[in-house]
């Protein structure tokens, strides 16, 4: 049961344009969402997060939007740069339960930014 879904396995965008990566989730108990970026042969690195009490969080070129009613979130990268080419994982969590936070990841979207 894939509770966090990234239906687009890949995306190509021209440098300077906007990249939009989408993510859907099925578990309404999720209350915290994260995006990770992963380069080949490296571990994922945290990019940006959003709590369910917000619908938008911005950090420089990266903005995450959350639509709770649709159980959908998206990551916008503006402007896209060649160094943004990587696999992006969406992740969701149900929050703190006895000191352990279970984070459920999607399958990832491979972004290619074309110079």
Partner 1 sequence: SQTIHQWPATLVQPVGSPLSLECTVEGTSNPNLYWYRQAAGRGLQLLFYSVGIGQISSEVPQNLSASRPQDRQFILSSKKLLLSDSGFYLCAWSAGSQKLFFGSGTQLSVL
Regarding 102 and contact with partner 1 (CB under 8 A), the answer is yes
86 binds partner 1 (CB under 8 A): no
- Would you count residue 65 as binding partner 1 (CB under 8 A)? no
Question: Which of 107, 79, 80 lies closest to 91 in space, CA to CA?
Answer: 107
* Cα gap 115→112, rounded to integer Å: 10
Q: Does 107 bind partner 1 (CB under 8 A)?
A: yes
Under the binding rule (CB under 8 A), the answer on residue 12 touching partner 1 is no
For partner 1, give the closer residue by CB, 22 or 49. 49
> Can you tell me which of 21, 34, 66, 73 binds partner 1, judged by CB under 8 A?
34
Question: CB-based burial of residue 70 (10 Å sphere; 0-12 exposed, 13-18 middle, 19+ buried)?
Answer: exposed
Q: Are 78 and 18 in contact (CB under 8 A)?
A: yes
Q: Which of 66, 58, 29 is nearest to 48 (CA)?
A: 58
Q: Confirm or reject binding of residue 54 to partner 1 (CB under 8 A).
A: no
- Residues lying near partner 1 in the complex (CB under 8 A): 2, 4, 6, 32, 34, 36, 41-46, 49, 89, 91, 93, 95-96, 98-108
């Amino acid at each position: 049961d894939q509770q966090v879904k990234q239906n687009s396995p890949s995306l190509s965008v021209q440098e300077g344009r906007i990249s939009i990566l989408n993510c859907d989730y099925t578990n309404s108990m999720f209350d915290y969402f994260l995006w990770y970026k992963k380069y080949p042969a490296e571990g994922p690195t945290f990019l940006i997060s959003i709590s369910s009490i917000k619908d938008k969080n911005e950090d420089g070129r990266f903005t995450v939007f959350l639509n709770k009613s649709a159980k959908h979130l998206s990551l916008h990268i503006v402007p896209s740069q060649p160094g943004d080419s990587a696999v992006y994982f969406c992740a969701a969590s149900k929050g703190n339960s006895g000191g352990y936070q279970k984070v459920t990841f999607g399958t990832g979207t491979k972004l290619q930014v074309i110079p």
